[in-house]
Amino acid sequence: MRKFADRDFEPEINVDLTEEDDEDFDADSDAPLIPPGKHLQIAVVGRPNAGKSTLINKILDEDRLLTGPEAGITRDAISVRTNWMGTEMRIFDTAGIRKKAKVQEKLEKLSVADGLRAVKFAEVVVVLLDVNSSFEQQDLRIADLAEREGRAVVIAINKWDLEGNKQARLREVREKFERLLPQLRGAPMVMVSALTGKGLDRLNEAILKAYGTWNKRISTSRLNHWLVGMLEQHPPPAPGGRRIRLRYVTQVKSRPPSFVVMCSHPDLLPTSYTRYLVNGLREVFDMPGTPIRLFMRSQSDKNPYKNKKDKKITKLNKHKEGRWQGKYK
């Protein structure tokens, strides 16, 4: 089984992002998490017959979506609006996503593409797994897709009511989660039963928690205080004797949290050090499991004389410059 621990992680450098005002990133803001009149967008994705439609029907408390023991009943991404435990939500039910090699019919290809679009438009993605076959290769691909799209991710293990030895299976599932999806380490994982409704209250809490972390905003002063500590604990390397200076860091956007570090020689900063900074952000500012985007920007980008050519001194303008560098004949 392929593991995603060795997935390439390359920092983006010299990006052009518009920094928002520090007032917009007030961590103590009293603004509501979900603005009035807005719906929290949730996509429920997974392999065929994982119980996605049954789960949504139990949330709605009515048989709105067609379900059955056969796999592949859902063909289109269907959205339903509901007030779930006091939160207005729009939930997308998607078709089961199989391995690409097994998708042959044109209708199934369209259904899978529809589900992938739902992931891109969602704010929180619930990856629903079957407890009897959890964290298979296709499950890992689906979860990794949601993370690469920058969405808040919640892992839900369905059919928990059918499991006999719950404690042993829980330890096994957690070990697989941490080992096979390191990029989502710390993301909420909830055991549910779509048939009986057990665990749905914890799923609701996990979705709201993941959404809150995904929207997290940190002031520039707190970030730079954190950066000083990280540099003191582990200074950046000096490849070829060229010292890399990290000047300051600021948050440029949320959803997902994205940060820019102003530094010298961003192209020389190794991937391992960027990963060290990302892990530090997760730990210090309590952002487990959420995608974090960290960009390195060169200080010379703001230098107005960066691309300015040296002025050539000739016989015609030597009196303006006060000197002439030509050769007398």
Q: What does the pLDDT average to over 268-286? A: 91
Percent of the chain whose pLDDT exceeds 90:
29
Q: Confidence band (pLDDT; 50, 70, 90) for 185?
A: confident
pLDDT of residue 18: 46
Which helix or strand (DSSP H or E) is residue 282 part of?
helix 271-284
- Which of 26-35, 102-111, 251-260 has the highest mean predicted lDDT (pLDDT)? 251-260
Q: Confidence band (pLDDT; 50, 70, 90) for 2?
A: very low
275 vs 34: which has the higher pLDDT: 275
With H, G, I as helix, E, B as strand and everything else as coil, classify residue 112: helix
257 vs 79: which has the higher pLDDT: 257
pLDDT of residue 62: 83
Candidate from 64-68, 156-160, 266-270, 301-305 with smallest mean pLDDT:
301-305
pLDDT of residue 164: 79
Residue 84 forms beta bridges with which residues? 87
Q: What does the pLDDT average to over 245-263? A: 91
Give the class (CATH, top level) of 1-27+217-329: alpha beta
Candidate from 29-33, 113-117, 294-298, 310-314 with smallest mean pLDDT:
29-33
Domain ranges of the chain: 1-27+217-329, 33-214
- Which of 9-18, 135-144, 288-297, 305-314 has the highest mean predicted lDDT (pLDDT)? 288-297
Taking residue 291's Cβ as centre, other Cβ atoms within 10 Å add up to: 22
Q: Give tens-digit pLDDT for 190-202.
A: 999 988 989 999 9
Do the domains spanning 1-27+217-329 and 33-214 agree at the CATH topology level? no
Task: Please state whether 231 falls in left (phi above 0), alpha (psi between -120 and 50) or beta.
Answer: alpha
Q: Confidence band (pLDDT; 50, 70, 90) for 6?
A: very low
CA distances from 159 to 8, 39, 192, 198 (A): 34, 28, 7, 10
Name the DSSP class of 22.
G
Apex CA 191: angle with CA 152 and CA 184, to 5°? 30
Q: What does the pLDDT average to over 28-47? A: 76
Which pair of structure tokens corresponds to residue 86? 């006091």
Q: What does the pLDDT average to over 27-48? A: 75
Helix axes 137-148, 106-121, angle to 10 degrees: 40
With H, G, I as helix, E, B as strand and everything else as coil, classify residue 57: helix
Whole-number Å distance between alpha carbons of 234 and 51: 46
30 vs 313: which has the higher pLDDT: 313
Q: Give tens-digit pLDDT for 117-174.
A: 878 888 999 999 988 888 888 888 888 888 888 999 999 999 898 887 888 889 999 9
Q: Confidence band (pLDDT; 50, 70, 90) for 219?
A: very high
Q: Give tens-digit pLDDT for 301-320.
A: 655 555 566 666 666 666 65
pLDDT of residue 1: 45
Which pair of structure tokens corresponds to residue 262? 């102003």
Q: Confidence band (pLDDT; 50, 70, 90) for 42?
A: very high
pLDDT of residue 223: 94
CATH, domain range 33-214: 3.40.50.300
pLDDT score of 277 more than 60? yes
